[in-house]
Amino acid sequence: MVQYWLLKTEPNEWSWQHQQNNNGISQWDGVRNAQAQNNMKAMKVGDPCFFYHSGKSKEIVGIVRVVKEFYPDPSDTSGKYGMVDVEAVSLLENPITLSQIKQEEECKDFVLIKQPRLSVVPVPDNVWKHLCQLGGFSDTIS
């Protein structure tokens, strides 16, 4: 069963443009929060993820999908943390701001709003479909 996710990144660290410039593939590394790590461990190949720019812009800008499941993060010398690989699927026609998300009734219980500092969050099916519609993206990923 497909699960949906949201991955947050500071655009000055790794942006949608960086993703595109890297042939659409990236290692989602550097995550150190235990809850975010557990979310990454639950990711399966093919799971779609919103690509969210944090920092000043605070908006969903694109969609990526998991292409490699959780594995050790070589930047972690303790051996405690891992990462996943994702590939670009699509830039959103209409980026979706955090303020828009907060105004949507369908999103009132969304973890992004409830735990705003968490960098990897699950997205319920109904929220995924609603946000895809707002962003101008068909929620079908091939």
Q: Which amino acid is present at 101?
A: I
* pLDDT of 123 above 80: yes
Q: What pLDDT score was predicted for residue 1?
A: 81
Written as six digits, the tokens of 85 are 């690989």
CATH topology of domain 4-135: ph1033 like fold (3.10.590)
Q: Which of 6-10, 41-45, 138-142 has the lowest mean pLDDT?
A: 138-142
pTM: 0.94
**73-77, 88-92, 120-124: which range is least confident on average?**
73-77
Residue 93, Cβ density class (10 Å: 0-12 exposed, 13-18 middle, ≥19 buried):
exposed
Whether residue 48 has pLDDT greater than 80: yes
pLDDT of residue 138: 80
Burial of 77 (0-12, 13-18, 19+ CB in 10 A): exposed
φ, ψ for residue 84, nearest 5 deg: -130, 165
Q: Which residues pair with 68 in a beta bridge?
A: 85
